[in-house]
Amino acid sequence: MSIGTVQDLARALRDGRRDPVDLVAEVFDRIDRHNDPALFIRTLRPRAEAEARASRERLRAGNPASLVDGVPLAWKDLFDLKGSVTTAGSAVLRDAAPAAADGALVNAAMRAGMVSVGAVNMTEFAYSGIGLNPHYGTPRNPCDPKVARSPGGSSSGSGAVVAAGIVPVSIGTDTGGSIRIPAAFNGVVGYKTSTGHYPMQGVFPLSRTLDTLGPLAQSVADCVLTDAALRGLAGPLVAAAPLEALDFVVPDSFMFDDLAPAVAANFDAAVARLAKAGARVRAIALAELHEVSALMGRYGPLTSAEAMDVHKERLAGPDAARIDPRVVRRIRMAEAMSAVDLIRLTEGRREWIARMNARLGNAILICPTTPSVAMPIAPLEADVEVFFHHNFRTLRNTAIGNFLDWCGMSIPNGTDNDGMPTGFMMCAPHCSQEDKDHG
């Protein structure tokens, strides 16, 4: 049973039916009972208990810091948490200096009264859609109690900790699908913002151009409420639109190639439900996505180029042997890129963002989040080429949204015959700069 949703817990805390201190004790009891040593890289019980006591005082005084005062959350271990080492899932950073201050978004959560319970595990340096970690272990996907399956990456712990019902929300990062893939694989909701939506200070980078942040939670409403709190708003500024006012488009593109039968069937069923409920759903020819994909393939991965900038000295020295070789291989793809390649890639990206924004307008593109459900881990660990095949396939539908700076959300839309979740993804063009400046 889940600890509850952000909405329900927030309401119960404000009404006095739940107590923040008791809630934190329940979270740590759930962590112990879940018994997955790979889920958290570190827990922060003293900090969480102190924040819960402060929340209790505010709530009893009738002066909550926000609508979510007292709600517990976990952070992907890319976010600086004062006094703790930010490992980025890597052994080479295990003995680094502790963070001198909270990251900007962690500080925003603290101002909202949310309670930070710890840093959850992730793919090393956030560079994989599968979620394996040879240093801290790979978190269990809670949806299969018998077979160890991929939790998705790179925000593996964020997806698993919410799916396990330990906390109602965890904050992840997304550079090529790293929020939406764990959401789909673990059967939760994942919201990837577009760039500029949240401050990036105090977040260990993978690709400074493509990195985005966002919540993984039990519902869309929970993501909306958490987002408002993290942005310092008194409450959400958005409201549910009538379905009749929404325009959903289904592209005729590679996003539907080689789908697992359950993924295809559950997507079709979700589309049918939308149409029956009154939404406009239309198929469109979108050859532009093929052209964008070809551009990405022609000049090389932008993520690798920017990751090489971050890790060049590590990969040139003895630390390279201490890094997951699958991660090293992906970063070193940048070595085949020239300066001209990088310029043409970034200029092409800028042009395609403008073209695709104009092409979609206010329409919402929908597709399966991933072509398959979470796969068993053993074959991925046994054969590196099997790993890279599944990693590339898993990132296929999500990564193009990062390249085009779309916002995106993965929502559970069913399961396969083994009970493994499938995900339904919605994508939309990023806001104008004027909209970003006004929040």
Mean of pLDDT values over 130-136? 98
Average pLDDT over all residues of the chain: 96
For residues 181 and 392, what is the distance between their CA atoms, to the nearest angstrom? 12
Q: In whole angstroms, what separates CA 302 from the centre of its chain? A: 19
For residues 284 and 270, what is the distance between their CA atoms, to the nearest angstrom? 18
Q: Does the pLDDT value for residue 139 go beyond 90?
A: yes
Mean of pLDDT values over 156-174? 98
Torsion from C-alpha of 81, 176, 158, 407, nearest 10 degrees: 90
Q: Where are the alpha helices (DSSP H) in 187-286?
A: 220-230, 261-276
Please give the pLDDT value at position 438. Answer: 36
**Confidence at 91, pLDDT banded by 50, 70, 90:** very high
Interior CA angle at 330 toward 155 and 254, to 5°? 75
For residues 249 and 294, what is the distance between their CA atoms, to the nearest angstrom? 22
Mean of pLDDT values over 69-89? 98
Please give the pLDDT value at position 240. Answer: 86
For residues 101 and 293, what is the distance between their CA atoms, to the nearest angstrom? 39
Please give the pLDDT value at position 437. Answer: 39
Please give the pLDDT value at position 431. Answer: 67
Mean of pLDDT values over 147-176? 98
**Confidence at 108, pLDDT banded by 50, 70, 90:** very high
Exposure pattern of 387-425 as b/e (b: 16+ CB <10 Å)? bbebbebbbbbbbbbbbbbbbbbbbbbbebeeebbbbbb
Catalytically active residues, by annotation: 76, 154, 178
For residues 129 and 386, what is the distance between their CA atoms, to the nearest angstrom? 13
**Confidence at 201, pLDDT banded by 50, 70, 90:** very high
Mean of pLDDT values over 224-248? 94
Interior CA angle at 381 toward 375 and 382, to 5°? 110
Q: Does the pLDDT value for residue 420 go beyond 90?
A: yes
Mean of pLDDT values over 191-220? 98
Q: What pLDDT, in 10s, does the model give residues 172-184?
A: 999 999 999 999 9
Q: Does the pLDDT value for residue 434 go beyond 70?
A: no
Q: What pLDDT, in 10s, does the model give residues 271-311?
A: 999 999 999 999 999 999 999 999 999 999 999 999 999 99
The tokens for 363 are 């329409």
Q: Does the pLDDT value for residue 439 go beyond 70?
A: no
**Confidence at 113, pLDDT banded by 50, 70, 90:** very high
DSSP string, 396-419: HHHHHHHHTT-EEEEEEEEE-TTS
**Confidence at 143, pLDDT banded by 50, 70, 90:** very high
Please give the pLDDT value at position 430. Answer: 82
Q: Does the pLDDT value for residue 433 go beyond 50?
A: no
Q: What pLDDT, in 10s, does the model give residues 335-371?
A: 999 999 999 999 999 999 999 999 999 999 999 999 9
Please give the pLDDT value at position 436. Answer: 43
How large a percentage of the chain has pLDDT more than 70? Answer: 98
Give all strands of the β-sheet with 169-174 in edge-to-edge order. 40-43, 115-120, 72-76, 169-174, 212-217, 189-192, 407-415, 421-428, 364-368, 247-251, 280-284
